[in-house]
């Protein structure tokens, strides 16, 4: 597997917990703006995204033919998980744990599967499993920057 995404994800898993702890619980609970998710809810969304993508990364490499990526209702998941009432420590532990699982999975995907496994996206585009992994890490980076106010 191309090491760039693995290295970036490892770096996030190592550095982000301490950075989030420095923000403090109250700061994590404040919405970024009117009608938007709080930083804690964004972190929760990243947990939901990680859960869905872990399944995708496993299934895509073991599906004969093209793997179809299904979308999920992100807002409904954040509401159902009730992240706004959870502790920062709990959500952070979930985020870290699922991303460690993702690291184990993507680190062992054979090069052949990364480049040859095709995925059909909800918008009809066809990409590779490698693209899906890279896209996951980019999505993660985007939202981590929001949480850490690095926009």
Angle between helix axes 88-107 and 129-147 (nearest 10 degrees) is: 160
Ranges 74-78, 92-96, 147-151: which has the least confidence: 147-151
pLDDT band per the 50, 70, 90 thresholds, residue 47: very high
- Alpha-carbon span 102 to 8, nearest angstrom: 12
Across all residues in the chain, what is the average pLDDT? 95
Predicted model pTM:
0.94
- Alpha-carbon span 130 to 114, nearest angstrom: 5
């Amino acid at each position: 597997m191309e090491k760039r995404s693995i290295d970036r994800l490892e770096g996030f898993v190592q550095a982000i917990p301490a950075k989030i702890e420095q923000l403090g619980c109250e700061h994590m609970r404040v919405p970024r703006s009117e009608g938007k998710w709080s930083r804690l809810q964004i972190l929760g969304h990243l947990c939901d995204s990680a859960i869905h993508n872990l399944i995708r990364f496993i299934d895509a490499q073991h599906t004969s033919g093209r793997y179809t990526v299904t979308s999920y209702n992100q807002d409904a998941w954040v509401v159902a998980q009730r992240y706004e009432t959870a502790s920062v420590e709990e959500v952070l532990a979930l985020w870290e744990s699922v991303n460690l699982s993702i690291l184990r999975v993507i680190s062992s995907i054979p090069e052949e599967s990364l480049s040859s496994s095709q995925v059909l996206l909800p918008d009809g585009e066809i990409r590779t499993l490698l693209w899906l992994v890279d896209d996951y890490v980019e999505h993660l980076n985007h939202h981590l920057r929001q949480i850490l106010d690095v926009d």
